[in-house]
Structure formats: C-alpha cells, structure tokens
A and B are shown apart, each in its own frame.
Chain A
Amino acid sequence: MPLLETRGVTVRFGGNTAVDDVSLTVAEGQITGLIGPNGAGKTTMFNTITGLQKPASGQVLLDGADITKLPPAKRARRGMARTFQRLELFLSLSVRDNVRVAGDVRRSTGRRRRFDLEAETDRILERTGLTDIADQEVSDIPIGRARVVEVARALMTSPRVLLLDEPASGQTEQETEAFAEMLTGLAADGLAICLVEHDLPLVMGLCSMIHVLDYGALIASGTPAEIKESPEVIAAYIGTEEAA
C-alpha cells in the first residue's frame, strides 16, 4: 500500500481548473517524481496534499486514512513535511534556529516530547551539510543553500513523507550532486519523498516512479524508462508536429 495517495483530486480557481481529477501515489522508501511544464499544477497539487488549498473534489490519503479535511498543522503532525518553491524561511532566525524551531514545535505538540533538541539539530545540520553556515543569518546565504535549509527544517519534523518543491533550482552543479546523494540516503532510510523538479536528468536519475502533469491533468505515470518513451510526455514537453 502506498504511504501517500490522492484520489481524483480536482482544484478550481474561479472558472479555471488548475488540477483535474488527479490520482497518484507516493511509496515508502522511494523517490517519486512529479514533473510537468510550467503551470501544469504541480505546486497546486502540493498545496492540496498539504492542506493549504482545498480541493473542489477528491481525497488525500495518508497511510490509508482520509486526511482531506485536516488542517495543515494536523497533517504535519501525522508525518507530512514540505519545502516551498518560493522560499519560506524564517528570516529573523539563524540557519540553526530555522531548523531548531521545527523541533520546538514538535516538543510543544507532545510528539516524542523527550528528545535532545540540540543533538538532533546538530545531527540534521550535519546530514544536510549545513554545519559550516549554521550560525549565519538565513537572509545572508545563497539561494541554493537556502533551499537545503528548507529541507533540513522539514527533516527536523521527523516526517514520513517529504514533499520537495523544486529543491535544486538555484543550486550549483556540486550542490546538486551532494543533494541527490542525500535524497538517496534519506529514501534508503525509509522516507517517502515526492519531488517536483525541472532538472529532468536529476529526476530521471533519482526517481523510481514518475507522475507527469500537463494542464492540470495526469498524462502519464511510470518508471523513468517508461516515461521517456511515452508519446504524451514527449508531446507535452517538446510539442507535437501539428503544434510545431
């Protein structure tokens, strides 16, 4: 059974259908890709899964339980974490405190009340390779590393599902390499990762399952090899002959 699942999710903004009847799955211990051209509805999908956006119809299930009606905070407490495409870091806090505050919240809500906040923060900073800039103001660091801070903050909630919205954009090649390695490691530890990303080689290399959105509709799902061969995907990305 997949850990995260959407069934027939439809989102409308006024008369505009941003997401149209999308059903997809994200499995434990794997990296699942969600790709598509700009405006395909990827971020809207993330917002719906995390509860920031109410769907017009459809369901979101986490571990088999229907969470469609739950507010974002409750979903987070059930093990859902995400990063934002438009960075949403806490600008008045340092890098370390951005990560630590996730632990503060965890403590205050009574989940695993007893854990060593400092040690856990250090461990996450170490794992994400942020130790060297831990005490800098988050507004002073380059955007590529700021995206990693978002990932570190999300990891601090000890999630079961991690939704990453274009985490590699703005990263240098070396940063992306290290980042990919880290994601593989996290998935190997059993985390379910859903990755929205425009860097196709990265997605193809990392993901074991890929969903493709176009104009709000799911046009293909499958392994990277299958996706590469899919005529619908090629049409969406490169355009059909008539359109060209």
Chain B
Amino acid sequence: MTTFLTYTILGLVLGAVYFIAASGLVLTYNTSGIFNFAHGAQAMFGTFLYWQFTNVWGWPVWLALVIVVGVVGPAMGAALHAVIMRGLRGTAEVTKIIVTVAVLLGTVYLAQWAWNPDEAYTVDMFFGGGAKITVAGVVVRWHEIVCLAAAVAIAVGLRILFTRSRTGVVMRASVDDPDLVRLNGHDPERAAMLAWALGSTLAVLAGVLIVPISGGGLDANMLTLLVIDAFAAAMFGRLRSIPRTFAGAIVLGLAANYVLAYMPSAGTFAGNLRVSLPMILLFVVLVVLPQDRLRGAAVRTRERYRPPTVRSAAVWGAVLVAVVYLYSLLLSDGGVSTLALGMSFAIIALSLTVLTGYAGELNLAPLAFGAVATVVAFHFGVRGSGLAARLGVHGVLLGVLAAAVVGGLIALPALRLRGLYLALATMAFGVFLSNMVLRDTTQHELFGVTFTLFPGGSLVIPPPKLGPVDLRDGTTFLMTATVLFALIAIGLAALRAGGYGRRLAAMKDSPAATAMLGQNLVRLKLGVFMISAAIAGLGGILMSAATGTVAQENFTFTVSLSLLMLVVVAGIGYISGALFGGLMAGVGGAVLVGTFGDLALEHEGPAEIFTALSHLVMVLTALVGMGVGKNPSGVVHDIVEGYRAMRGAKPLLYGAAAFGAVLYVLAVTGVIGSWTFSLIALSVVMLLPVVGRMVLEEGRKRETPLELLGVDEPYTDDVRARLDQELGLPVTSVKGEVSATA
C-alpha cells in the first residue's frame, strides 16, 4: 500500500510538471496558431541559466527563481514573438514548424556552447532534498508540494484567463481572425506577444521543476526531449482544452510511475518503456482523434518551385556523377569516405524532397526510418563474417521494404488529420525508436526465434555488395551512392512531371478541391509517405555502412531535425536542395567544426576564437533556419534564379568554367591543396550569379518610366518626342519623321 501511495504521489507530481509544460504549449498554439516545437528547448535554456545563477554566481534560490521565471522567461517569449513568430502569419504550416524546429536547434547549440556538454550539471530540489514531511507513512518533499501547488494554481488561472477575462477572449480570437480582432479595437499582436511571454515562462518553470524530480542531472538534449513529453498531454486536450490537458498530464505522470513500480525491472525494458510512454500515448491520442474537416488552401503560400524536366534531371545527374568522380581524385581516403557519408545523407534528404517539397507533408524523424532499414538489413542481410562480411542486395531490399511498411503504419493514423499531426506522429515514432528499439540490448524470443535487436548497444554494418559491385573500396562506395542519388533524383523528377506528381501538387495546394476531383487523399498521402520512407531507408542503410559502426546516437531526433532544417534552408522543393542540405547535415557541419577544432589545436593563442567560431557556425545555421519564414523557397532557389538570369551572359559562364578547369588541373597536379580548391570552387559557384546580376544590370540601359520623364533629368527634345510617340500624337520631331497617327 505504501508503495502504491508513494508512486501515486510521484506520479501526480510528474503529471503536475507535465501539465505546466503542456499548458504553455496550448497557450501559444491557441493564440498564434504556431505549435512551438522549441518549447522544451526554452525550458532547457532557462534551467541552465537557473543553474548558472545558483551554482556559479551563488545567488539565493529565490532570487534566481524570480529572475529566471519572472524576467528571462517572459523576455525570451516576447523576443521570440517580436523577432520571429509574428512574421509567420500567412505562411504554410510546414514553414511554421520548421522555424520553431530551428529555434529548438539554435537554443540547444547555444546551450552547448555556453555549458560544455561533457561536464555534469545538477539542479537541486527547492529547500533541498531533505526538506520533507511524512503523510500516512509516505514521504513527500517540499519541492513536490510546490510542483503540485503551482500546477493547480496555473490550471485555475488559465481557465479563468481563457473563459472569463477580456484578454483571454482576445487571445483566442487572435488565431481565428486577427483582422476582426483589430477591427474590434484590440491588438492581436499584443495578445500574441503576451501569450508567447506567458508560454515561455511556463516552459522555464516546468524546466526548473522537472530536473530535480527526474534525477537532478541537467543535459541539454535530454531536457529538451523531456519537456517534449508534455506534447502528449497537450494532444490529450486536443491543443485547446486546459482541463483535458490537465487530465492527460496526470494520467501520463501516473502511468510512468506505475510502470516503474509494477513492471518487472529485469533488463532495460521497464526503464525504456517508462521513457517512451508519453510518445506511445501521443500515438494513441492520434488514433482516436476525430477526423478533421477538409480544408481548402489555408494560405496563399509564398513558396514557388520550378519542377525540373526529366531530361534536365538526367543531364544534371550525369554532371553530378562526373563532378563527384573528378573531385574524389583530389581527396584522401578519409575525405572520400566522408563525402560518401554526406552523399548517403543527401539520399535521406531526397525522402524529404518528395514528401515535403512535392506533397507538403512533414516527417520529423527521417533517420528513424533509416534506423529501421538498418536494423532489418543487419539481421537478415549480412553474409560472411569478419573482414569478408558483406551486406547483400537482399538485405538492402528487405531493409528498404521494412522502412516503407513501417512508414505506412506510422503515418496511417495521422493521415486523416492535419499536417501538424503527421509531424507529431513521426516525432513520436522517432523518439520512441531511439528510446525503445535502439537501446534494446536484451534477448527476445518471438515465434521460437531468439534475437537481440542491438547486441551490445551498437551494430557493425559491413560494406554492401550489390551484385558484382563491392562497396568495400571507398571510391566505389562514393560513386555508387552518387549514382543512386542521381537515379532517385531522376525518378523523382519523372514522378513530379507525371500525373502522380500533379496530383501531389494539387493536394498540397488545396486538399478540399483535390478531394472534389475524386481523389482519396489518405491513399495518396500514404503512398507518398511510403515512397519517402523507403528512400530514407535506403539512405539510412548507406549511411550506416559508411559509418561502419552505428549506435543509437546516429539516429537521434536531433540529427533528424538538423537534416530537415538544412534541407529546408537549402530548398525543400529542389533536388539540388536535398543535395546541399544533405551534404551539409552529413558532413558540412562536422567538417567545419572539425576544421576550426584542428585550427584551435594548432594555434594555441587564438584557440578560444576558433572554438567560439566552431560553435558560432552551428548557431548561425540555426539562425538561417529561423529566417526560412522570410524566404520559404530556400537558398538554392535564389542561386537557380541567378543562373537563369545569366543565360544571356555566355562569356561569363564560359570564363568561369575555364577558370574552374584550370583550378582543377592545379589541384590534381598538387600545386594547390584540395581544401583550397574546394573553397575557391564553392565560392565561385555561389558568387557567380551575384556577379552576373551586377554585370547584366550594368549592361542594360535603364529607360526612365514614362510618368517620371523630366522629373530628375532635363526636359529635352528627345524626351518630348518620346512622349508624343507614346501618346500617339503627331510627332513634332526636328528630323521631320512621318507621324504614326494616320
């Protein structure tokens, strides 16, 4: 009985904190229509500050708490709204999600910069862990009482705010129709800013409360995910109802603790299950949610993409293969395998191009499907052992098939719902997979077969052997990955140009109108999601093989998110966007950070500057991601448009090509290093359209618009002649031309 009571109280306390976190989420979603994926990251950042104030600067707890919850929280929320979120009105749901994901990543990078993740941080309970009372034989700490009291107070307060107060009504109205709110004499932006300030205050409070009751250890990634657990509670309230959110949070907290109390604790299963429980619940909620009304185009999105023709995709594919081959000649063995890893990521990125770019749906955990494919390929596809071990074609195919099937199963419950729910379902799956499956080192028996999913916590993936092509050799691996990328890219271009692609585009633009053409939307979404998951699976297998030994860390949610963000920044509608984004995610960040790290080792004086620069690179990429709201089409779009504008400037293009050839010869002969070559070549490719645009502008004679004639230039006879001509009057030219009015 005492056990039951103890765990019940622990469950209530955990539930209370979940509620505090979830309520902030509900608040911002209801006021601005933005589901804040960065909620957990905000909690994490606030908690680290709290740690800094109390443990490093020695402030008293009450002061630190007042500053963090009373000042930092609201300021952070208000700033987020003012700088980023208010600019997102009228953008696509995908853009909104990506921007908050970028905020999440940026905050995590920033925290890891400020507080070295290799050190340990702990946050104590309020009044210390020893301050407790005993009720009916059960020990309750004062900290836990604070959690419960805070949750109840917030629940009551929010309920009153939303239903009884004018501010609350304005808040709720702001998301439905900001213009109407404005006409009624209220400022929707002020209401939204207030909501963001409150929401992020609640996040910070939840962070400070939850860390001590879940062990006291403070880790940027873990705390970010811990608060994400509150998403499930928010879903329970359908992102609207505060009472239902409260109920969901309490159920979640209790369930987590009962699992700990009553499940057999042998092996890692119970612990893993406890961690995964919120995600499982989130999934169940998704399954039972009623179907949404079909919507038309909610917004006239600003995204614009030019779909490539199959022919141009084929040409560019060939160019890519040739360029990569020539480039690989310059690289060391290490460089080649790094590039191969990047190419595998680019293939995973293609899965996002078809899903998000073509169909407008989101997958927040593409690497999870890569992990599924990898596990299946490892268990069914490895032939031979030791150095002779190879991954057979059948293993790769089985893995890809498994990824597609699992993808379909995961997506199915969410497909009836809005895009946000599919994003949440994939997130739940990604987190669930890294907690449950990829940490599963115990032996199972199923249908008389015993197996261990992750023996020893990691998998050694041998190089694939695709028919006669043995991928043991680095260059062969790289070229195979590149050819596969090109083939899939051509396939996607063909798909986009055909009837299937037109149907996807139609669904993305207006679901309601597409349904009225007789299209079963769920079937269409399911199909494209399975195609996407299969591509992610193939990329995942290659990624694992390129890495050699993979563990849970290789497939985490954070890695997935940064891949997604980089692809969106590069251009989600473009195949080249997938190439850039994938390469950046796979190797770009690592190469840059690694280079700065090496520099820091070599030059001891400015070492700190180089370390800071490497952190800055990470934070900057996230900053670019946050800017996606301003330029939703992506960077590649700008470059492509630049080159399109340069069609007329053939000499410049030929000149650049010749320059590149010379550079390459110099690099092959070893006159310049491969690094120098890469840097110069990349700069030329990026800068050429900018230079070209300037040259073209120069060459074009600007003609003053008619209505501005003579305004800031002398009124000459020529001007008068032009005016006459434009107006169709008899030309009173000095040269005596025949008038055109006859």
- Chain A contact residues, CB within 8 Å of chain B: 50, 52-53, 71-74, 76-77, 80-82, 84, 86, 88-93, 97, 100-109, 111, 117, 153-154, 156-157
Contact = CB atoms under 8 A, between A and B. Distances in A.
A78 B514 CA distance: 15
Given A91-B297, A108-B499, A72 B516 contact: yes
B607 interface: no
The 3 A-B residue pairs with the shortest CB-CB distance in the complex, in nearest-first order: A104-B499, A76-B518, A88-B513
A72 B503 contact: no
B734 interface: no
Contacts of A89: 509-510, 513
Contacts of B518: 73-74, 76-77, 105-106, 109, 111, 157
A45 to B, nearest CB: 15
Contacts of A106: 517-518
A153 to B, nearest CB: 7
A90 B505 contact: yes
Contacts of B519: 73, 76, 105, 108-109
21 contacts: A52-B294, A52-B512, A72-B512, A72-B515, A73-B517, A74-B518, A81-B517, A84-B513, A88-B297, A88-B513, A90-B505, A90-B514, A92-B508, A93-B506, A101-B503, A101-B517, A102-B517, A104-B500, A105-B506, A105-B514, A109-B520
A77 B517 CA distance: 8
B300 A101 contact: no
Given A93-B502, A93-B509, A153 B296 contact: no
A106 B518 CA distance: 7
Contact of A76 (B296, B297, B300, B516): B516
B309 to A, nearest CB: 14
A97 B513 CA distance: 14
Contact of A73 (B293, B510, B520): B520
Contacts of B499: 100-101, 103-104, 107-108, 117
B503 A93 contact: no
A198 B520 CA distance: 33
B517 A153 contact: yes
Contact of A88 (B296, B301, B508): B296
B262 interface: no
Nearest to B360: A92
Contacts of B502: 93, 97, 100-101, 104
A148 B429 CA distance: 45
B509 A90 contact: yes
Interface in B20-57: none
B516 A81 contact: yes
Contacts of B516: 50, 72-73, 76, 80-82, 154
Contacts of A109: 518-520
B256 to A, nearest CB: 37
A60 B503 CA distance: 28
Interface in B508-560: 508-510, 512-521
Contacts of B517: 73, 76, 81, 101-102, 105-106, 153, 156-157
B305 interface: yes
Nearest to A97: B502
Given A84-B296, A91-B300, A108 B513 contact: no
B299 to A, nearest CB: 11
Given A73-B519, A73-B520, A108-B503, A90 B513 contact: yes
Interface of B: 293-294, 296-297, 300-301, 304-305, 499-500, 502-503, 505-506, 508-510, 512-521
Nearest to B573: A92
Contact of A104 (B304, B503, B515, B521): B503
**Residue with the greatest number of chain A CB neighbours at <10 A, chosen from B515, B517, B520:** B517
Given A73-B521, A101-B502, A107-B499, A92 B513 contact: no
**Residue with the greatest number of chain A CB neighbours at <10 A, chosen from B296, B508, B513:** B513
A91 B513 contact: no
A90 B506 contact: yes
A108 B524 CA distance: 10
Contact of B505 (A53, A72, A93): A93
Contacts of B515: 52, 71-73, 76
Contacts of A76: 515-519
Given A104-B503, A105-B518, A105-B519, A52 B513 contact: no
B506 A101 contact: yes
A163 B355 CA distance: 32
A153 B518 CA distance: 12
Contacts of B505: 90, 92-93, 97, 101
Nearest to B307: A92
Contacts of B301: 91
Given A73-B519, A157-B517, A157-B518, A92 B503 contact: no
A154 to B, nearest CB: 8
A153 B502 CA distance: 13
A88 B510 contact: yes
Contacts of A108: 499-500, 503, 519
Nearest to B300: A91
B412 to A, nearest CB: 16
Nearest to B502: A101
A50 B301 CA distance: 26
Nearest to B511: A88
A72 B293 CA distance: 11
A143 B301 CA distance: 18
Nearest to B293: A52
Contacts of A157: 517-518
A69 B294 CA distance: 15
A82 B510 CA distance: 14
Contacts of A91: 297, 300-301, 509
